[in-house]
Amino acid sequence: MATEETRKNVVDKITEAKKEYDNVVVVVSAIGRLGAPYATDSLLHLVNYKNTLLSPKEIDLLMSVGEIISALVITNTLLENGIKACALTGGGAGIVTDNDFNNANVIDIKTEPIIKLLNEGIIPVVAGFQGATVENEITTLGRGGSDTTASLLGEALDADAIEIFTDVDGIMTADPRICKSAKIIDEISYNEVFQMAGSGAKVIHPRAVEVASRSGIPLIIKNTFNDSRGTSIKTFIKSERKKTIQDKLITSIAHKTNIIQFSIQGEIDDENFFTELANENVSIDIINIFPERKVFTIDDTCKNKVIKLINKYNAPYTFIDNCCKVTVIGEKITGVPGVMAKIIRCLSKSSVEILQTADSLSTIACLIKEKDLEIATEALHKEFMLG
C-alpha cells in the first residue's frame, strides 16, 4: 500500500471480491517495514522503544497509528475509484479486548457497526492489529494481529472465506530460498499449517489459523500483485483429500536454524534442572532422556544460560552448535509404517548425518548440521515427490 501503483492492485483485488461475494470487509495492516515512515517498527523507534518511559497503554496508542493511517489511505483510494467505503479503527469495528496492552486478547466482537455499513452498500475498511477495551482504550493484538483481525471478523460475520493478501503466491512445499524445486501448495489443512509454523516456516500467524480452524472458514493466502490462485487452508474430508493432493504422504518440509544440541552425561535432578531452565525462559525443542544422559536442543541465543545452569549441577556435558531442524509434515503419515526409515535412508544416501529425531502424529523432525540444510531439504523434497 506504499505507492499509488500498489494501492491500485489493492483496489483491483477488492473490486474482484465484490463480484464474487455479496459483501466485502477489508482489513489493513501498516504500510511497510522498519524504515518506512508509518511501519510499526519505525513508530517504535521514534520513542527508543527498548528504553522508553511510555506505559504499555501509551505504546499501544502509538502502535495503532500505522494501521489507522492505512485504513484511511485505502478508504480514500476506494472513494476516488467510485467505491463507497468507510474507515474504522479496530474498536470502531466492534472488536472488544481485555486490558493486556501490547498483546491483548479479543473477548467480544460487536458486529453492528460493520453490518450497518454493509447494509448501506459501504465497504468497511478496518484497521487491523487492534481493538479497544470496554473503557474504550486502544489495545494491540501482538504480532500477526492484522491476520488475526481478519480471521476474527470472518468468524463473527460467518464469512464464506477469509482471504489474506501478501507478497507471495501462497504457501510453498519448502522454503524456495533453499529448495529450488519448491512449489505452491493448492490446498492444505489447518493442522498442517500449524505444524509448518511451529517447525520454522514463515507462513501465516498461527492465531489467525486457529480462529479460522474453529469456525471452519477457508483461509486463502494470495498474492496482491498477481492473479495466482494461492493456497486454501481448510478442513479435509478423507476422500476429498485424496483427490486434491494425489494421496501424497508429505505435504511440506519446514526448517528451523540457529539450534544447539546439548548432551548431559550422568545423573542429575531432572525435575529441578528443567524447571530452572523454564524459569530462565529457555525453551526446549527436541528432548530425549535416558538413565545415563539427557539430550536436548535449544535456540542458540540461550547457550550461555544453559551452560551456566549445567555448571551449577557440576554435570559433564558436550554441545554441538550450528545445527538446524528439518521437519517433514503431513497428516497422512499417522500410522503409516516405514516413513522414518525412508527419511533415514534418503538422508544417509545424501551423506547427511542425523543427530537426533522427534516425531508426532503428523510430523517427523531430524536434527542435522546447518551446513547440510540445503542438501537435506532438496533430497527429502525429491524423495517424497513434492516438486
User: What does the block give as the cell for 271?
Assistant: 525435575
β strands within 23-160, DSSP E: 26-28, 85-88, 95-97, 106-109, 123-127, 130-132, 138-140
The per-residue DSSP string of 98-129 comes to -S-TTSPPEEEE--HHHHHHHHTT-EEEEESS
Q: Give the rounded distance of the alpha carbon of 330 from its chain centre.
A: 17
Q: Which residue has the cell 528439518?
A: 326
The reply, when asked if residue 282 is annotated as ligand binding, is: no
Residue 264 has pLDDT above 80, yes or no: yes
Give per-residue pLDDT as tens, 82-99. 999 999 999 999 999 999
Among 156, 165, 153, smallest CA distance to 126 is for 153
Distance CA 338, CA 281 (A): 37
Give per-residue pLDDT as tens, 217-260. 999 999 988 888 999 999 864 445 444 444 578 999 999 999 99
Q: Give the rounded distance of the alpha carbon of 219 from its chain centre.
A: 13
pLDDT number for residue 236: 66
Among 225, 313, 327, smallest CA distance to 268 is for 313
Give per-residue pLDDT as tens, 301-332. 999 999 999 999 999 999 999 999 999 999 88
pLDDT number for residue 165: 92
Among 210, 191, 242, 205, smallest CA distance to 361 is for 191
User: What does the block give as the cell for 374?
Assistant: 540445503
Domains of the chain: 4-238 (3.40.1160.10), 252-383 (3.30.2130.10)
User: What does the block give as the cell for 21?
Assistant: 461475494
Q: How many Cβ atoms sit within 10 Å of the Cβ of residue 17?
A: 17
Distance CA 264, CA 28 (A): 49
The reply, when asked if residue 65 is annotated as ligand binding, is: no
Give per-residue pLDDT as tens, 241-253. 444 444 578 999 9
Distance CA 45, CA 35 (A): 9
CA 284, 287, 290 angle in degrees (round to 5)? 140
Among 128, 211, 191, 121, smallest CA distance to 165 is for 128
The reply, when asked if residue 67 is annotated as ligand binding, is: yes
The reply, when asked if residue 166 is annotated as ligand binding, is: yes
Distance CA 367, CA 357 (A): 6
Residue 110 has pLDDT above 80, yes or no: yes
The reply, when asked if residue 248 is annotated as ligand binding, is: no
Q: What is the mean pLDDT of the chain?
A: 92
Give per-residue pLDDT as tens, 17-75. 999 999 999 999 999 887 888 899 999 999 998 899 999 999 999 999 999 999 999 99
Average pLDDT of the residues in 353-379: 96
The reply, when asked if residue 202 is annotated as ligand binding, is: yes
Give per-residue pLDDT as tens, 156-210. 999 999 999 988 899 999 999 999 999 999 999 999 998 998 898 887 888 899 9
Residue 335 has pLDDT above 90, yes or no: no
Confidence of residue 348 (pLDDT cuts 50, 70, 90): very high
pLDDT number for residue 99: 96
